[in-house]
Amino acid sequence: MKPMHLDPVSLKLFISVIEESTIAGASEREHIAAAAVSKRISELEATLNTTLIVRTNKGIQPTTAGVALSAMARRALRELEDVAVQMQDYSSGMRGVIRVFANISVLTQFLPQDIKSFLGEYPEVQLHLEEKTTPVILKSVYENSADVGICSGNIVDSGVQSFPYRQDTLALIVPSDHPLTKMPDARFADALDYDFIGLHTGSAINRIVSSAADNLKRNVRVKVQVTGFDTLCFMVNAGLGIGVLPVDIAKRYSQMFDVRILDIDEPWACRQLQICVRSLDGLSMAARSFVNHLRDSSPG
pLDDT (0 to 100) of residue 13 = 83
Its sign, for the CA torsion 272, 138, 98, 286, is positive
- In the chain, the domains with their CATH numbers are 8-91 (1.10.10.10), 95-166+272-297 (3.40.190.10), 168-270 (3.40.190.10)
- Looking at residue 87, its pLDDT comes to 62
Q: Furthest-apart CA pair in the chain: how many Å?
A: 106
Predicted confidence (pLDDT) at residue 55 exceeds the cutoff of 80: yes
Pair 141, 274: CB distance under 8 Å: no
The number of C-alpha atoms within 13 Å of 124 and in the hemisphere containing its C-beta is 14
Residue type, 72: M
Alpha carbon distance 220, 209 (integer Å): 8
Is residue 300 helix, strand or coil? coil
Condensed to tens digits (0 to 9), the pLDDT of residues 230-260 reads 999 999 999 999 999 999 999 999 999 999 9
Flag whether pLDDT at 85 surpasses 80.
no
Least confident of 3-17, 25-39, 62-76: 3-17
Strands 243-246 and 161-175: antiparallel
One-letter amino acid at 117 equals: S
- In terms of Cβ atoms closer than 10 Å to its own Cβ (0-12, 13-18, 19+), residue 65 is middle
Q: How far is residue 57's CA from residue 55's CA, in Å, rounded to a whole number?
A: 7
For 74, 100, 219, 256, 280, the CA distances from 26, given in Å and listed in that order, are: 16, 52, 86, 75, 49
C-alpha distance from residue 254 to each of 173, 259, 286, 289 (Å)? 8, 6, 38, 36
Q: Are 103 and 137 in contact (CB under 8 A)?
A: yes
Residue 32 neighbours by CB distance under 10 Å: 15
In whole numbers, what is the pLDDT of the chain averaged over residues? 87
Phi, psi of 144 (to 5 degrees): 70, 25
Rounded to 5 degrees, what are φ and ψ at 99? -95, 115
Exposure on the CB side of residue 210, measured as CA atoms within 13 A: 11
**pLDDT tens string 141-186:** 999 899 999 998 777 677 899 999 999 999 999 999 999 999 888 8
